[in-house]
Amino acid sequence: MSAERRTSGTPAAPPALELRSVTREFLLGSELVKALDTVSLSIAQGEFTAIVGRSGSGKSTLLNLAAGIDVADSGQVFVAGRELSRLDDDALTIQRRERIGMVYQFFHLLPTLTVRENVALPLLLGRGDERKALARATKLLEEVGLSHRATARPHTLSGGEMQRAAVARALVHAPALVLADEPTGNLDSRAAAQIVELLASLGARHGATVVMVTHSREAAQVAQRIVEMSDGRVIADTAATPA
């Protein structure tokens, strides 16, 4: 499926994320489980892709491989044309810090930092300037509509608010690739819709490629492309009909 119609990325640009015959196996007890079974997939820059599928179908495993948190047993994973198995832990970490934003189902905000500091954190991991980082975080918080809670501690926020803060954190360093693993899993449908909307609009505004794992059909509908997985394989890959 070609996707070179979008704003950013010239036709010559490498895909934002590409998997070539990737297999990942886990030993569960004495049984070998193929979490990913020779999966090949290419996601172009700027694309908003949803990954759907039943529980245990390998969605999270795919995201973890993309983030460089997990390593494939065979096959290759490319992020912006770079093959990940060639990178050591530090290089993978720096790649995450500079080019990837992550959103999780359980938000994972640091409890000791304020909301704004949580958002600014990725900028500081690479020794950024504190004032600039906080200013940028303030701007992102505005974009997600959380300015009024900037100095609050995370545990005082509602689930939807926490996830909006997490989205702001994922985008604060203008990453090329945003990986979201069930960002709506813990939210009611209204909050879920808001989050997906934010991911889509902010992703587009910042020119980021967004890969979102979700169980929700409505959420998937917002994406331009829906990849369906089952038992570690891609079983469907369709361009969504714009809502």
Partner 1 sequence: MVLFRWLMLRRLTREPGRTLLTVLGVALGVAVFVAIRLASGSALAGFSDTVDAVAGRANLQVQSRSDGFDERLYPRIRQMPGVLAAAPVVQVSALARAGGASRAAVAAAAAADGADGAAGGGYHETLLILGLDPLVEAPFVRLDRDDARAASDPGAVKGAMQLLAQPRTIAITRTLANRMRLGAGDTLSVLASGLPVPLAVVQVLEAQDLQQAMGGSIAVVDLATAQEVFQKAGRLDRVDLRVDPKRRDSVRAALQAMLPGDVAVDLPQGRTKQVENMVRAFSLNLTALSFIAVFVATFLVFNTLAMAVVRQRRDIGVLRALGLTRSQVARLWLGEALAIGVAGSALGLLLGWVLAQGALGAVGRTLHDLYLIEHTDHLRLDAATLMGGAAIGILASLVSALLPALEAAHTPPGATLRQGALIEAQPLPIARLGFTGIGALALAALLAWWTTSTRQALGGFACAFFVLAGFSLLAPFATLAAERVTRPLARAMGIEVTLGARALRETVARASTVVAALMVAVGMLVALTVMVGSFRRTVDTWITQSLRGDIYIEPAGHRASAGATALPPELIAAATKLPGVAAVDTYRGTPIRYEDALAFVVGVDFTVQRDRGHLAFLDGADGAAVLSRAIRDGGVIVTESFAHRHRVKPGDQIELPAAIGPTKVRVEGVFYDYSTDAGAVLMDARTFARLWKDDRVESLALYLRPGASVDSVRSAFLALCGPERLMNATPNKALRQRVLTVFDQTFQITWALQGIAVMVAVLGVISTLTALVLQRGREIGVLRGSGATRGQIRRMVLAESGLLGLTGAALGCVAGLVLSLVLVQVINKQFFGWTVRFTLDPWIFLQATALMIVTSLLAGLAPANLAATKVAAQAMRAE
Ligand X SMILES: Nc1ncnc2c1ncn2[C@@H]1O[C@H](COP(=O)(O)OP(=O)(O)OP(=O)(O)O)[C@@H](O)[C@H]1O
Which residue ranges make up the site for Mg ion (CB under 5 A)? 60
- Picked from partner 1, ligand X, Mg ion, none, the partner binding residue 58 (CB below 5 to 8 A depending on kind) is ligand X
Of 63 and 234, the one with the shorter C-beta distance to partner 1 is 63
139 binds partner 1 (CB under 8 A): no
Of 26 and 135, the one with the shorter C-beta distance to ligand X is 26
Would you say the C-alpha torsion 205, 211, 42, 51 has a positive or negative sign? negative
Candidates 24-32, 45-53, 87-95, 198-206; binding stretch for partner 1 (CB under 8 A): 87-95
- Extract the runs of DSSP E, i.e. beta strands, from 80-222: 82-83, 100-103, 177-181, 209-213
CB of 28 to ligand X, least distance (A): 5
Of 103 and 146, the one with the shorter C-beta distance to partner 1 is 103
- Asked whether 56 and 226 are in contact (CB, 8 A), the reply is no
CA distances for 183 relative to 71, 127, 134, 147, angstroms: 23, 28, 24, 21
Of 60 and 184, the one with the shorter C-beta distance to Mg ion is 60
Candidates 9-17, 97-105, 198-206, 234-242; binding stretch for partner 1 (CB under 8 A): 97-105
Rounded distance, CA 116 to CA 242, Å? 34
Of 25, 50, 49, the C-alpha closest to 36 is 25
Beta bridge partners of 48: 210
Straight-line distance from the first to the last Cα atom of the chain, in angstroms, rounded to the nearest whole number: 20
138 binds partner 1 (CB under 8 A): no
Interacting residues with partner 1 (CB under 8 A):
60, 64, 67, 69-70, 89-90, 93-94, 96-98, 100, 102, 104-106, 108, 110-113, 117, 121-122, 124-126, 128, 130, 133, 169, 181
